[in-house]
Chain A
């Protein structure tokens, strides 16, 4: 019995940090509507700076002073980030904001390694809380008890801040209707900045307070951000009480999940999240969100199929790409195959995201499922490659059918988070079900049959499939189904009023996108000769998002160009520099701030301007070249 009590208390202690970080994220989202992916990064910087300060400053005062000072220092960094980066993108679509803050996260990951080195750092014990308290033969660290008390205290302070101060009233008003608050003459800029600073302060404090419990390392940002997403989604975005309750719930699920279901401890939390989202899509303490006001003047070039000239150009590009083996070596051909595979992956997400308006943050799940499908078929059933390639993607299709059914019940940020959670579930299964998936060691030794074994043949295969998939999906954009899908994206009210069952249309699109991603994953497994849990990880999902946005989310073929540029750049960067994340992160932020329309969108805009300047004649919009290299 005592053991369970101690386990419960450990859970409560973990909840404290989680609550601090989650409440910060929630407050920021409530007012600025930005889902701050970089929140985990601020948490991490908080921990690193606190580590340095507590090492330098001596005594109890030095330790506690160092922790608080660290949180203030990071809050200051937050203010700079808000003023330099976020202020430029408050009116951008929410996806761009997520990506910009993700870019920031990437940069921070490299920066902390640059400053503090790659090794884990173990910090000082907290003065006054070094020992443990004996509880019926079980030890409870006294620092845990301190954290257990701290959580509710912070909740109380935040409550007072929001209920009893003028600033709090403004923040609550802005959470309900920020346009109205601005119309009432409140200086929105400084309100946003201060809110961001408070949110970041809480995150950094959460990180700083972790140093007596855990080592500081450079991957702690991603781990916490996924948990924090889960917490705010369960609790309800924008609700601080919700964040507290959900933080406790999640921490206890973690603490007891390990005892009860050691194999699926990670999944438990995500299952609870999925259930909450389906029963109460706006979270336990959240409120159903009113439809966001659309940014006025948001016009998009009407989409149209390629003209016959453009088709010829696309075909020419494809032929040029197909001639690569004539002059390129094996390494370049492997790179080419990988790029072609990522084109498949990117266009599959594009279909869901641009055409359907459903931004999946866990699209890698279906890519990875396709890859694992191949591994099971080839290694366990011993089927030949051609059969595997045809059947393997079916695993991606089935995964998309199951998860997609639940995901399309939601939309916007919640859709993004639910897809992320599903991807994490699949990842956990791949990681923990060692008997079947090999866990972290993956499944090795998947080699193509002899007809596709040479690099040039495999390249042709990948290129051919990529071209086929791109053409098929593009045809679907301009099919009656594609129109219906765009209709559900543009106006749910109107599409329902003209007899369209939006959820069924979106579910179908989800399955199509998942299956297509599975095709990419299947080829990827053969290209690499192995399958790992990373093939369905978050960073791969984000790669897909970046590719689509880089090409231009409002265009039809941007994903193809985006995939080629991003993947080529990525491969080149990794070979050139150790700081690839720093460069990539900066690059992502640059796109979001300077070229929000992406490469193809920007080209289209320029062409449009030139057309308007010259007398009306040929309706030549420079549409992307449909190359599939």
Chain B
């Protein structure tokens, strides 16, 4: 009997810019329905790591596999077609279109109707668009121009758009950055609920430790491009190395940095 491959398997992912190793030999895996957090101080390589997962950035070496299928270096749009949704640290939405139209574009793409010249787009999958917006609590905003939305609402819209192709995996780069504390909790609760209901794997980066420890099933800690710890919130919280480089703040980090520089 063969064991089913994990939803996402990352192996030896490496990327350097000039002489700087942004990401070095990062490996991890993610199961369906699991919520995995990727944390680390600024400049640890979280975003680089993230961008390499869906083809936004090319790794120097290493592999990314989705359900056993190699997706390393594929274009973002191809990765999306395989069932990987993504939200951005700084929201990327279609500013001149309404909230509903934003979702409809994703549905049109999912339905492979992008080159349909004479159909009616306003009527395209209106019901499904409405359901997705309801799901993220944006039902009442469907006809609002997207450019008028508050930042937290844009984040929720991005989530709805990311869910439009019934993804198996959601990549969320700092989903709650720039949101008010209460909004953060709400958005992550919502994400967690959807992930459990639909058995979607979620990988997210986050700076807010409350959000991370409350919602993540498992946590990866990245420092200067390498994974230094991995485990349940309790394990990671108790890990002295993590405390030193991450939770321990400046002083500890500084002394280690000097040691590293002298050797």
> In the docked arrangement, what's the CA distance between A392 and B118, Å?
24
> In the docked arrangement, what's the CA distance between A338 and B75, Å?
47
Q: Would A490 and B114 be within 8 Å (CB), given that A299-B148, A300-B145, A478-B122 are in contact?
A: no
Which one of A299, A500, A512 lies within 8 Å of B147 (CB-CB)? Answer: A299
Interface residues of B in 205-251 (CB under 8 A from A): none
Residues of A within 8 A of B95 (CB): 294, 298, 490-491
Residues of B within 8 A of A497 (CB): 54, 76-77, 80, 86, 88, 92
Is A479 a contact of B118 with CB atoms below 8 Å? yes
B83-107 Cβ-contact flags toward A at 8 Å (1 or 0): 0001010001111111001001110
A280-322 Cβ-contact flags toward B at 8 Å (1 or 0): 0000000000000010001111111100000000000000000
Does chain B have a CB within 8 A of A169? Answer: no
Interface residues of B in 64-79 (CB under 8 A from A): 75-78
Q: How extensive is the interface on chain A, given as a class? A: 35 or more
Task: Give the Cβ gap from B153 to chain A, nearest Cβ, in Å.
Answer: 15
Which one of A304, A486, A500, A501 lies within 8 Å of B122 (CB-CB)? Answer: A304
Is B101 a contact of A483 with CB atoms below 8 Å? yes
Does chain B have a CB within 8 A of A332? Answer: no
Does chain A have a CB within 8 A of B22? Answer: no
Interface residues of A in 481-515 (CB under 8 A from B): 481-484, 486-487, 489-491, 493-501, 505, 508, 512
Does chain A have a CB within 8 A of B120? Answer: yes
Is A496 a contact of B77 with CB atoms below 8 Å? yes
Residues of B within 8 A of A487 (CB): 94, 97, 105
Taking CB as reference atom, which chain B residue is nearest A482?
A: B121
Does chain B have a CB within 8 A of A476? Answer: yes
Chain B facing A: main interface SS: loop
Is A299 a contact of B121 with CB atoms below 8 Å? no
Is A305 a contact of B94 with CB atoms below 8 Å? no
Is B101 a contact of A479 with CB atoms below 8 Å? no
Q: How extensive is the interface on chain B, given as a class? A: 35 or more
Residues of B within 8 A of A615 (CB): none
Is B120 a contact of A498 with CB atoms below 8 Å? no
Does chain A have a CB within 8 A of B117? Answer: yes
Interface residues of B in 6-51 (CB under 8 A from A): none
Does chain A have a CB within 8 A of B164? Answer: yes
Q: Would A484 and B108 be within 8 Å (CB), given that A494-B94, A497-B86, A499-B165 are in contact?
A: yes
Q: Would A481 and B116 be within 8 Å (CB), given that A302-B98, A486-B96, A498-B109 are in contact?
A: yes
User: Which of B92, B120, B122, B161: most chain A CB closer than 10 A?
Assistant: B92
> In the docked arrangement, what's the CA distance between A480 and B118, Å?
8
Residues of B within 8 A of A484 (CB): 105, 108-109, 114-115
Which one of A489, A493, A500 lies within 8 Å of B109 (CB-CB)? Answer: A500
Taking CB as reference atom, which chain A residue is nearest B92?
A: A494
Residues of B within 8 A of A478 (CB): 120-122
Is A480 a contact of B116 with CB atoms below 8 Å? yes
Is A499 a contact of B81 with CB atoms below 8 Å? yes
> In the docked arrangement, what's the CA distance between A498 and B75, Å?
11
Is A302 a contact of B145 with CB atoms below 8 Å? yes
Taking CB as reference atom, which chain B residue is nearest A619?
A: B143
Does chain A have a CB within 8 A of B126? Answer: no
Taking CB as reference atom, which chain A residue is nearest B161?
A: A498
Q: Would A479 and B147 be within 8 Å (CB), given that A300-B96, A302-B101 are in contact?
A: no
Taking CB as reference atom, which chain B residue is nearest A299?
A: B147
7 A-B pairs with the lowest CB-CB distances in the bound complex, closest first = A490-B94, A494-B92, A480-B116, A480-B113, A480-B108, A483-B121, A300-B96
List 12 additional contacts besides A476-B117, A483-B101, A500-B114; criterion CB under 8 Å.
A302-B98, A480-B124, A483-B104, A484-B114, A486-B96, A486-B105, A493-B92, A494-B93, A498-B109, A499-B81, A501-B77, A508-B115
